[in-house]
Amino acid sequence: MTSNALIIDGYVDEPACLGVAPYISPYVRDVAGVLSGHGYAPRYVTIDQVRADPSLAAACGPGDLVVMIAGMTVPGAYIGGKPATLTEVQQLGTLLRGPTTAIGGPMTFGYAPEGGRKAIRQAIAGFDVTLSGSPAVALDAWLSGGEPAGAGDYSLTDPWSVAGAPIIAQHPAFPYVMCEIETATGCSRATVGGCSFCTEPFYGLPRYRSIEGIAEEVAALHAAGARHFRLGRQPDLLAYQSSGGEFPVPRPEVLEELFSAIRASAPDLATLHIDNINPGTIARHEDAARAALSAIVAGHTPGDIAAFGMETADPAVVAANNLKAMPDDVFRAIEVVNDMGAGRTGGIPELLPGLNFIVGLAGETAATFDLNGAFLQRVLDAGLLVRRVNIRQLMPFEGTTAYDENTLGMHDARFRAFKEWTRTHFDEPMLRRVFPVGTVLSDIVIEIPGRPSFGRQMGSYPILVGIPLVLPAGSVLDAVVVGSLLITLLRASDRVHAACLAQLVNTISAIRTEPGGPAWRQSIFHPFSLTARHAAGDVLRPDLTAPTLDTAKHGTVPVLDAVATWDADARRLAVFVVNRDPDEAVIFEVPLVAFGDARLAQATELADDDRFACNTQDEPDRVVPHAHPRAAVTDGALRAELAPASWSMFLVDVA
């Protein structure tokens, strides 16, 4: 008999792991695998879903099991989700009196509501069991009759990661889910105590996962519908499967094998990014690091970020906190990553560094902030590229040196001033440098609809894009845009010999599916399908006369865009046209005297009174082409009234 289990994802954020939506952490997937192995049918909800509908959790009853994963040790600013607070976790524990409950994740290390405060370790009220160490290993031990504790063991967790992969389909953002992939736990600098603030040494010395184990999990995630991956669960990807002290020498051939195996397991992946890179590794082993970075750039997808835990540009603070690199080491690492990754593909850089600063470390003085600003100015003046700068306040945990040795609250005004200076004097010119005017950002996923709508690309620390439109996904407007794109491609067919639709199903796609459920066509399917079917022969470039439309970005543009093809063998003229005007219909006329006796064989229109209407599982045919109601061939001309924000196709047979 299968029992019911619910996983509540309260989200996690650690120095070497991110699991805040749209990311889903390895902890959640491994726990799902454990539950499946013990005969449970796991369901998954996020804390955001529970906030919106508490009945999702309250419906659990006697005999059920609820497992919550939560905790932040490096809190940040989030768009896709809001991590669970300790109060919320304890309220849930109190609410869930019927089922058996367990809590795991970094919240067991301690909790603080925000940076700038100590994280206090305490019992989490309301839960029956606290999972210590690896949540999955601890859960398995407890369900097997033992104590709810255990260290990470890839011989155990690798099979669970495969078994738990299908849980991603229950994520509310699916298929736009970033799967955080674990390659290692623990820190090579644990032998010397690690950085004063970091919790990664709690996991001990590095334990590296096998390439085979990673590839098998990626294959299982891919089979479950995942197309977006980040190698983020490790403190330094350059050190993967390396050994030899505090700063291991990178092994480029191993990284090349790793990326090749991942791509073989997910051949049509859309995103493959990384996270943490130790700048100290680059500074100490530059040649090997260059080769390793080259392997990453060859295997990843563009727009990637190597996150540097710089923490400070004050050498005294570096020394006082046993940090990994001096400022000059970090600067050299920035130069090296620029050398290897600043080249652009599709208009965006392949791989750029990101910088992390922490305020409140031991030894910090007012002069520290001057040194931090001078370092960033040096980067700007050198013409280097940095994708983002993250500045946060220290949140020290019991068991770290920084818990007792810190400067919390001593320089709050300087912290705020440094953060504001960075945003105005560094971020703004740097963003213009990284994303110059004219850069095209493709596959933006709208996360905050409205006017403007806000969205991001899938990836590591993607830039937030504001679009001055209300943009629900898969709308009629999308179809008009795609139709206009196809017209442009046809008109340039003397230069564009092939144009492919890269994503066919689910990911920015023409077709949507639900796991175990139906499939349906998105609005953009139709102009693509009809153009591919009927555009044949020679391309004719029409001489258009049309009203104009004023736009903020492109100035004054004609409201009509059109192209035609002539198939001499079939004696058929195909005309494709869009009306860009969102509010007004336009009369469209094409003289056909040169073609002789002409007959309108087919007239098709894609339009809707609600230009933001879209097809859904419940309404798969909400937006479909229909017979054009206002088109005819009379007196030697094709005449039609084009609806606002519409795409139309006319097929004219010539005797």
**DSSP letters spanning 353-389:** EEEEEEESBTT--HHHHHHHHHHHHHHHHTT----EE
Whether 552 is covered by a domain: the verdict is: yes
Indicate whether 425 and 485 sit together in one domain.
no
Indicate whether 313 and 199 sit together in one domain.
yes
At residue 9, the pLDDT reads 97
Sequence-distant (6+) residues with CB within 8 A of 339 are 290
Range with lowest mean pLDDT among 145-149, 240-244, 326-330, 356-360: 240-244
Q: Select from 131, 151, 174 the last residue of a domain.
A: 174
The number of distinct structural domains making up the chain is 4
Proportion of the chain above pLDDT 70, given as a percent: 93
Mean per-residue pLDDT, 199-223: 93
Of 63 and 506, the one with more pLDDT:
63
For residue 482, the domain's CATH number is 2.60.40.1180
- Asked if residue 527 has pLDDT above 90, the reply is no
- Asked if residue 480 has pLDDT above 70, the reply is no
CB atoms within 10 A of CB 547: 12
At residue 127, the pLDDT reads 92
Of 92 and 448, the one with more pLDDT:
92
At residue 120, the pLDDT reads 87
At residue 261, the pLDDT reads 98
At residue 553, the pLDDT reads 61
What's the CA gap between 44 and 8, in Å, rounded?
Answer: 6
At residue 136, the pLDDT reads 96
Indicate whether 457 and 498 sit together in one domain.
no
Whether 220 is covered by a domain: the verdict is: no
What is the 3-state secondary structure of 571-599? CEEEEEEEECCCCCCEEEEEECHHHCCEE
Cis peptide before 429 (omega within 30 of 0): no
Indicate whether 342 and 451 sit together in one domain.
no
The type of residue at 444 is: I
At residue 556, the pLDDT reads 83
At residue 554, the pLDDT reads 67
Pairing outcome for strands 626-627 and 598-606: antiparallel
- Asked if residue 489 has pLDDT above 90, the reply is no
Indicate whether 326 and 387 sit together in one domain.
yes
Highest mean pLDDT (candidates 442-446, 479-483, 565-569, 581-585): 565-569
Indicate whether 484 and 623 sit together in one domain.
yes
Range with lowest mean pLDDT among 8-17, 293-302, 413-422: 8-17
Whether 291 is covered by a domain: the verdict is: yes
Mean per-residue pLDDT, 534-563: 83
- Asked if residue 636 has pLDDT above 60, the reply is yes
What's the CA gap between 233 and 616, in Å, rounded?
Answer: 35
At residue 77, the pLDDT reads 80
Mean per-residue pLDDT, 272-288: 96
pLDDT band at residue 648 under the 50/70/90 scheme: very high
At residue 492, the pLDDT reads 76
| DSSP-assigned letter for residue 524 | T
Indicate whether 406 and 266 sit together in one domain.
yes
At residue 444, the pLDDT reads 79
What is the 3-state secondary structure of 383-426? CCCCCEEEEEECCCECCCHHHCCECCCCCHHHHHHHHHHHHHHH
Range with lowest mean pLDDT among 266-280, 512-526, 589-603: 512-526
User: What average pLDDT does the structure give for the chain?
Assistant: 89
| DSSP-assigned letter for residue 250 | P
What's the CA gap between 354 and 358, in Å, rounded?
Answer: 14
- Asked if residue 143 has pLDDT above 50, the reply is yes
Whether 214 is covered by a domain: the verdict is: no
- Asked if residue 434 has pLDDT above 80, the reply is yes
Of 230 and 593, the one with more pLDDT:
230
**37-46: per-residue pLDDT in tens?**
999 999 999 9
For residue 352, the domain's CATH number is 3.80.30.20
Please name which of 236, 383, 369 lies closest in space to residue 314, comparing C-alpha atoms: 369
Indicate whether 454 and 432 sit together in one domain.
no
At residue 617, the pLDDT reads 79
The order of strands in the sheet holding 538-540 is 538-540, 560-567, 572-579, 646-654, 598-606, 626-627
Token reading at 212? 């085979």
Find out whether 393 and 360 touch, Cβ atoms under 8 Å: yes
At residue 283, the pLDDT reads 95
- Asked if residue 201 has pLDDT above 90, the reply is no
At residue 379, the pLDDT reads 97
- Asked if residue 481 has pLDDT above 70, the reply is no
Token reading at 420? 């504001």
pLDDT band at residue 595 under the 50/70/90 scheme: confident
Indicate whether 144 and 260 sit together in one domain.
no
Indicate whether 506 and 458 sit together in one domain.
no
Please name which of 279, 407, 413 lies closest in space to residue 333, comparing C-alpha atoms: 279
At residue 188, the pLDDT reads 87
Residue 437 Cα to chain centre, angstroms: 23
Indicate whether 499 and 367 sit together in one domain.
no
At residue 451, the pLDDT reads 67
What's the CA gap between 242 and 632, in Å, rounded?
Answer: 72
At residue 515, the pLDDT reads 67
What's the CA gap between 652 and 655, in Å, rounded?
Answer: 10
The type of residue at 124 is: I
Mean per-residue pLDDT, 115-144: 91
For residue 8, the domain's CATH number is 3.40.50
pLDDT band at residue 507 under the 50/70/90 scheme: very low
At residue 265, the pLDDT reads 97
The type of residue at 535 is: A
Mean per-residue pLDDT, 382-389: 96
Please name which of 68, 69, 73 lies closest in space to residue 109, comparing C-alpha atoms: 73
- Asked if residue 238 has pLDDT above 90, the reply is yes
Mean per-residue pLDDT, 351-366: 96
Domain span including residue 128: 1-174
Indicate whether 461 and 422 sit together in one domain.
no
Cα end-to-end span (Å), the chain = 71
- Asked if residue 452 has pLDDT above 80, the reply is no
